[in-house]
Amino acid sequence: MLALRPNCECCDKDLPPESEEAVICTFECTFCKECAAKKLKHVCPNCGGNLVQRPIRPRALLATNPASTKRVLKEFGCESGIA
Ligand SMILES: [Zn+2]
Ligand SMILES: [Zn+2]
């Protein structure tokens, strides 16, 4: 099951489970669409994988399968570390 992380790893923008701005890689590194497009060129800076839009979990299922509340943020942002 997807963790549905609550924020962008680059800019710490809130990405609630119903957000259509959230994109993830295969390891669920989570970013906002703006960072994915402008900073990351749709490539995950952690693993090199591609970033795709995170599916929306139906609201009724969030009650029994809640989204993660653990924020993950890259310590030095996303600009560094990109070749
Ligand atoms: Zn972002
Ligand atoms: Zn990744």
What is the set of domains in the chain, with CATH numbers?
1-63 (3.30.40)
- Residue 21: other Cβ atoms inside 10 A: 17
Contact between residue 44 and residue 25 where contact means Cβ atoms under 8 Å apart: yes
User: Ligand 2 centroid to 64 CA: how many Å?
Assistant: 26
Cα(41) to centroid(ligand 1), Å: 12
pTM (2 d.p.):
0.91
Model pLDDT, residue 73? 96
Q: What is the pLDDT of residues 5-17, one digit of tens each?
A: 999 999 999 999 9
Structure tokens at 19: 């957000």
Identify the nearest ligand to the CA of 52 by its number.
2
Long-range contact list for 25-31, CB < 8 A, 24+ apart?
25/49, 25/50, 25/51, 25/52, 28/2, 28/3, 29/72, 30/5, 30/54, 30/72, 31/78
Among the bound ligands, name the one nearest to the CA of residue 33.
Answer: 1
Taking the centre of ligand 2 as the mean of its atom positions, its distance from the CA of residue 83, in whole angstroms, is 15
